[in-house]
Structure 1
Amino acid sequence: MFTEAIEAILRDYATPDAIRAIENGGSPSAIWAALEEAGFLELLTPESAGGAGLALSALAPVFVTLGRFATPAPVAQSIAARALLRESGIAAPAGMITLAGRCRRFDDEHQSLEAPATPFGTICEYVLANLDGALLLLDANHAAREPGGVRGSLCATLTWRGDRVSAPLGRSGGEVPLFSAAIHAAAISGAMDRVFGMTLRYCNDRSQFGKSIGKFQAVQHQLSVMAQHTSAAAIAAELAFSGAGPVPARLATAIAKARTSMAVPLVASIAHALHGAIGVTAEYDLQLYTRRLHEWRMADGSEAYWNCVVGEAALARMTPTIADFARTAPLETA
């Protein structure tokens, strides 16, 4: 129910033209206001507090949908931030909140704090950050913002002077990178599904030698590879939100982020190869989603980082086979 309602709003507000406008410096206020007024920022808020009271598992299709539309606002991050702040007994501020999974402190004259490559760092109003396990709520309006330099990206590195950094809210900062990585896994799954759908339609519509190119065996093989990885990414993203706790479990998140990130270069390259020359043009919508796939692959660590997490967990557990590990370990909370 929630997914269909959110999709209806995004279909009207998160159009390719709207995404391009925001990438070029336009305001995301229309998209943000539509989702906020509909109450979708409070999906994890208990019903007694005026929210939807959803379980974590119900969020996966919502976050996948946000990725499918390449939503140019930190909607998923704000939903997660409100839940994390509520656990700490803090009221969430009004406005767009994003997540910064790993911050670092500099030993300079200002004791500066940096949140590198923060998602939606160019447009967010607040940042819920992790600093060595401490949970911080930072006002982005007090930060120096340095865009990442990638065309169309809303990512930025934010830096605060030490006197602009508020006191820690607690020691739950380690939950921030887990939630952020799970969100990016779901976003990859959604955008990948969008890219596969666009490629399949193009191959069925584009004719060569008197028939659609989708009927050529070599093209069908490439489409089947895309379908395989898109389906695997969808299953992995759902796994990240399958636990019973309020925050995605570490191992399930690691598997989800590793598997979805691993599929990105293959799926994106096949999509562009099958589209041919039109696929690399700015006017064609494909690049709106493949650019984000590459960005989200690296966000919160690529498959190289998360594969190490999974590997260490597999070595630490005394399971008879790797199949037993894959079947049982991801749902463990430890």
Structure 2
Amino acid sequence: MTEFRPGKDKTFNRNYRIVIVPLVYVVYTVVFYVINPFSRYWTFLANAPAERLVLELFIGLIISWLITESSLTSTRWLDKVMPWETWPLRRFFTQFAAVLLAVFIFLKAFDFVIIRFIDKPAEFTEEDQMEEWQFVSVSMLVAILLNSVHTGSYFLRRWKNSMVEAAQLQLHAAALKETAMQAQLQSLKLQLDPHFLFNNFSTLSVLIEEDARLATSFLEKLSRVYRYMISNLNNDVISLQQELNFIQSYIFLIEIRHGENVIIQTSVSPHSMEKGIPPITLQLLIENAIKHNIASAQQPLYVRIYDDAEGNLVVSNSIQLIPHALPSTRLGLANIKERYALLFEKEVIVEEVDQQFVVKLPLVNL
């Protein structure tokens, strides 16, 4: 982002002079009057003709212009040899010293021209000398005020620019984070457990030989499950009601594969049905429970789905681990945890309580 500094923008400097020079003249006159309200100069102005007043106004504006130019010139020169970014403290004191020196030189030169060519006094009294030094002192004081305005304006612009740049960087970082998050989410959604595919196709091949009608129903439910998966690839969150409707088709597949060896129970309040959950979450948890635990007639596997008072959806199963379980593909719990972290910045709680493997999924507002 480009940054304005006095002396670099010609249009701004022209307009700046048009406004600041008369303002410096007013400030200069007021300060001079406050310091010495009994100066003979005020009596002189009160009795001077209109032509002389115009000349005094012109001289005053010239002095104000010299003060302004001194400040701008010293600032422009120091920007080249001593930038604020490199030596801020040294620049601060040097700029004030340079402005005072430039104003003193310009004013002494101007005073020399006035005395020599315009208004040479008949006698240079001690009072005249005192007023001359008052004139120089007031001019330097006004120059210091003007330089303070320049310095404060510079730091204010720097602060505003830094705030804008910080906001732009934050927006850019947020955009990059969003892009990365969407890519990661898409990758997570496309993950399908190969064991789930293998088991269901194996079951289907057996049913085709033994019971063609049941095989047709099984194939219909299986196609429903994958249609749901594909249709929700672009959805980050769906209602719990939709997820539970999908689970009914999935439970049918489980019942055909495992019969009464796996018992899935759901008990969710109507209020929680309106909350949101990442799609395919329940299917991953149920499949994860079946993959790692014994499910037999003598030792059926119980899976419960219910909501708790803290606003979580709880999926629990009895712990009866298979002695030689298949190695994990890390596409179940890890998938769910990563999606919750990316989408909602919420943590999925996993714990073992009373021989129950419990997963608590925070429900979110849609």
TM over 0.5: no
Between the two structures, name the one with larger relative contact order (CA 8 Å, sep ≥ 6): 1
More helix per residue: 2
Give the TM-score, by structure 1 length: 0.22
Give the TM-score, by structure 2 length: 0.21
